[in-house]
């Protein structure tokens, strides 16, 4: 009886020690963007935890979660069998503003005791949701439209409006939907630019921008009236919960060109050729979606994939050896919610030590959904020599077209483990399958003395080369070279700034910025003080350069045209946007010649 009491107390002590040693680990990116979303993951090494309490997320929008997953595994090392288990809680978040934010600790109850995670700090940058990438280029040259609306005229909602549409209104959870925003305007309305007034908020949805393309303008008839129409911007969205989901209206700023009626030619000459710009705001319509839950029961092995996919498996380590890391790669390709797929479970023999799979995703948002591939690398460490079989891996996904779960069964793996190192390598938390290719190359083994010796030698050689170049050519030469290299980038930034001035209707600032871009480019490219830059000096530098004679003449003519335009904008022979294109092409052409 006394012996049983001692055994009972011993296991109680072990249980208390186990619960005390539990830690709630947190994983989050150090940097994020207001235009994107990220995963905040909490993991604890037990499946008996309960009452998970997420942190306060006042600076973030919760798009999905907490999503719970559990795992159990068995390993055998030197004949001793051990088990492991874990529970993971995943939250999908999107920042609401830029800045430096602290996510406070989360908590969970393990064996009646509260366990807290550590706090994490996330630096949020501006994703540029209001940038020109959502802008619409001019429908045409406004100056070439003789029937432009007169200045001061009212621009009604029937003259100019924006319509939102979705590729479908009834979908399943996680199914891709194409969301399009199209602008409509009557022929006498000179639309010069359309931009987002504020970044859209998609609650209970995950969204991805479709890369902007040249707008394809076309004529459409609405309520018996003819309109010019074109798609401004598009998103691929993925609903995260069942039920009725409403996509709220989005506000756009529209720049409209109107014609100034005047009888005085001199007044028109100094007033932009009789054209003026006005900004109006338009709001799109709301869209209501009906989101159906995925069919139940969900099959074993389903990891959240919704779409149409293919899968293939590859053993990267063709000859596994004992106590050496090997990798099995599972690649999923297709069209669907690639970014939201979690790693399928792969069962290894009991005397293999295994590690958490790592993933790498390459995808592009298209009008049909997110297209590309995601790779899962499973790393393992064989302990004993022998023949082993890994059961056929499976990948399960839900196909919205067939409304069924589909399973891809890959070939089983037959491994012949050879004798390797007698000692187990030091494995860190940063173990990643990308290290597989450089782990062992004959005599050069990852982590051993020859490996680090080669790297140290390369580092010394690199430092020696840098010191020799600095001694041979001097700091001044480096500065000159740097200025020449940056000349093209500085000119491009100024031209983009000029385009922004033009979008706001500030033609005077537009021409000033173009002229400054040309002057700055020559100063940096030929290493001349900007105080010494004159038209004569520029012509002299170009004449001594390998640039073509036609480019030299066009460059000087462009400078003259910009200087005149600052005082007499209506006297120019070509519209501002054409002038901007000429400046960009000239800088590219001269830069290639130099």
Residuewise pLDDT in 10s, the chain (594 residues): 454 455 444 444 444 444 445 788 998 888 888 766 678 889 988 888 888 899 988 888 876 667 777 776 655 555 566 667 888 888 878 788 888 999 999 999 988 889 999 999 999 887 654 333 333 334 444 433 445 667 777 888 888 999 999 988 999 998 999 999 999 998 778 888 888 887 777 888 888 888 777 788 888 888 878 888 999 888 998 998 899 999 999 999 998 888 766 545 444 444 555 677 888 899 999 999 999 999 999 898 888 899 999 999 998 888 888 888 899 999 999 999 888 888 888 888 888 888 888 888 888 888 777 899 999 999 988 888 989 988 888 999 999 999 999 999 998 888 888 988 766 665 554 444 444 444 444 455 555 667 777 878 888 888 888 777 665 554 444 455 555 667 778 888 888 888 888 888 777 788 888 888 888 888 888 877 766 778 788 888 888 888 888 888 888 888 888 877 766 555 555 788 888 888 888 888 888 877
Dihedral pair phi/psi, residue 350, rounded to 5°: -65, -25
Checking phi first, is residue 301 left (phi over 0); if not, alpha (psi -120 to 50) or beta?
A: left
Question: Which residue has 């050729």 as its token pair?
Answer: 273
**Cis status, amide bond into 297, omega within 30 of 0:** yes
For residue 405, what are its two tokens? 């779960």
CA distances from 409 to 311, 359, 414 (A): 9, 20, 15
State the CB neighbour count (10 A cutoff) for residue 444.
Answer: 13
Three-class secondary structure of residue 554 per DSSP: helix
Token pair for 295: 């069919």
Place of tokens 């041979």: 472
Buried b / exposed e along 171-201 (16+ C-beta atoms within 10 A): bbbbbbbbbbbbbbbbeebbbbbbbbeebbe
Quick one: which of 92, 115, 116 has its CA closest to 29? 92
pLDDT (0 to 100) of residue 331: 94
Neighbours of 38 (CB within 10 A): 19
pLDDT value at residue 163: 94
What region, left, alpha or beta, does residue 256 occupy, with left being phi > 0 and alpha being psi -120 to 50 degrees? Answer: beta
Across the beta sheet with 60-77, the strand order is 25-27, 38-44, 80-95, 60-77
Identify whether the C-beta of residue 555 lies closer than 8 Å to the C-beta of residue 452. Answer: no
From the CA atom positions of the chain, what is the Rg in Å? Answer: 32
* DSSP bridge pairs for 418: 321
Residue 208's Cβ-count burial label (10 Å; 0-12, 13-18, 19+) is buried
β-pair type (302-315, 394-399) = parallel
Cα separation, 40 vs 61, whole angstroms:
12
The residues pairing with 81 across neighbouring beta strands, listed in sequence order, are 76
**Maximum CA extent, the chain:** 115
- Single pTM value for the model: 0.50
Check residue 290 and give its pLDDT: 93
Residue 162's Cβ-side half-sphere holds a number of Cα atoms within 13 Å equal to 26
3-state secondary structure of 360: strand
Phi then psi for residue 586, to 5 deg, are -65, -45
Cβ atoms of residues 394 and 408 within 8 Å: yes
Match 């700034």 to its residue by tokens.
497
DSSP 33-69: ETTS-EEEEEEES-S--EEEEPPP-TTEEEEEEEEEE
Beta bridge partners of 62: 93
| Predicted pLDDT at 397 | 94
H or E, element range at 523: helix 507-525
């Amino acid at each position: 009886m006394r012996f049983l009491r001692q055994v009972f107390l011993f296991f109680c002590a072990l249980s208390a020690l186990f619960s005390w040693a539990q830690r709630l680990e947190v994983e989050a990116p150090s940097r994020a963007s207001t235009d994107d979303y990220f995963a905040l993951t909490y993991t604890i090494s037990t499946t008996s935890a309960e009452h998970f309490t997420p942190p306060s997320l006042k600076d973030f929008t919760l798009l999905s979660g907490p999503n719970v997953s559990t795992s159990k595994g068995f390993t055998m090392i030197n004949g001793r069998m051990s088990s492991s288990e874990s529970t993971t809680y995943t939250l999908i978040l999107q920042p609401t503003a830029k800045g430096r934010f602290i996510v406070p600790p989360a908590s969970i109850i393990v064996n009646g005791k509260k366990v807290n995670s550590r706090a994490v700090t996330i630096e949020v940058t501006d994703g540029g949701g209001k940038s020109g990438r959502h802008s619409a280029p001019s429908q045409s040259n406004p100056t070439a439209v003789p029937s432009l609306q007169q200045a001061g005229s009212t621009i009604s909602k029937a003259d100019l409006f924006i319509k939102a549409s979705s590729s479908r209104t009834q979908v399943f959870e996680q199914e891709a939907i194409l969301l399009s925003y199209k602008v409509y305007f009557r022929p006498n309305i000179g639309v010069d630019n359309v931009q987002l007034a504020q970044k859209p908020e998609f609650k209970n949805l995950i969204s991805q921008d479709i890369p902007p393309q040249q707008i394809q303008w076309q004529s459409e008839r609405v309520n018996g009236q003819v309109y010019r129409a074109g798609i401004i911007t598009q998103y691929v969205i993925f609903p995260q919960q069942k039920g009725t989901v409403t996509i709220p209206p989005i506000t756009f700023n529209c720049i409209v060109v109107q014609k100034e009626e005047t009888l005085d030619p001199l007044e028109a000459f100094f007033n932009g050729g009789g054209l003026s710009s006005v900004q109006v705001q338009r709001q799109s319509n709301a869209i209501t979606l009906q989101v159906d839950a995925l069919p139940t029961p969900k099959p074993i092995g389903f990891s959240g994939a919704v779409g149409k996919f293919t899968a293939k498996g590859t053993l990267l380590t063709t000859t596994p050896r004992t106590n050496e890391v090997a990798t099995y790669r599972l690649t999923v390709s297709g069209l669907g919610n690639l970014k939201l797929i979690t790693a399928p479970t792969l069962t290894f023999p009991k005397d293999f030590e295994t590690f958490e799979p790592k993933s790498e995703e390459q995808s592009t948002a298209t009008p049909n959904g997110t297209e590309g591939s995601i790779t899962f690398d499973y790393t393992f460490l064989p302990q004993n020599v022998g023949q082993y079989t890994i059961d056929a891996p499976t990948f399960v996904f839900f196909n919205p077209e067939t409304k069924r779960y589909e399973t891809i069964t890959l070939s089983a793996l037959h491994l012949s483990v050879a004798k390797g190192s007698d000692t187990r390598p030091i494995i860190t938390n940063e173990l990643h399958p990308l290290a597989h290719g450089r782990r062992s190359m004959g005599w050069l083994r990852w982590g051993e003395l020859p490996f680090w010796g080669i790297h140290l030698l390369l580092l010394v050689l690199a430092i020696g080369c840098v010191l020799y170049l600095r001694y041979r050519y001097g700091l001044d030469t480096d500065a000159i070279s740097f200025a020449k290299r940056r000349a093209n980038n500085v000119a491009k930034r100024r031209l983009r700034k000029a385009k922004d001035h033009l979008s706001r209707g500030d033609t005077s600032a537009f021409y000033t910025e173009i002229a400054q871009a040309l002057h700055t480019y020559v100063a940096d490219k030929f290493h001349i003080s900007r105080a010494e830059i004159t038209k004569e000096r520029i012509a002299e530098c170009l004449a001594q350069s390998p640039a073509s004679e036609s480019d030299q003449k066009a460059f000087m003519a462009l400078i003259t045209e910009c200087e005149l335009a600052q005082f007499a904008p209506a006297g120019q022979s070509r519209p501002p946007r054409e002038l901007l294109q000429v400046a960009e092409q000239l800088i590219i052409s001269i830069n290639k010649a130099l």
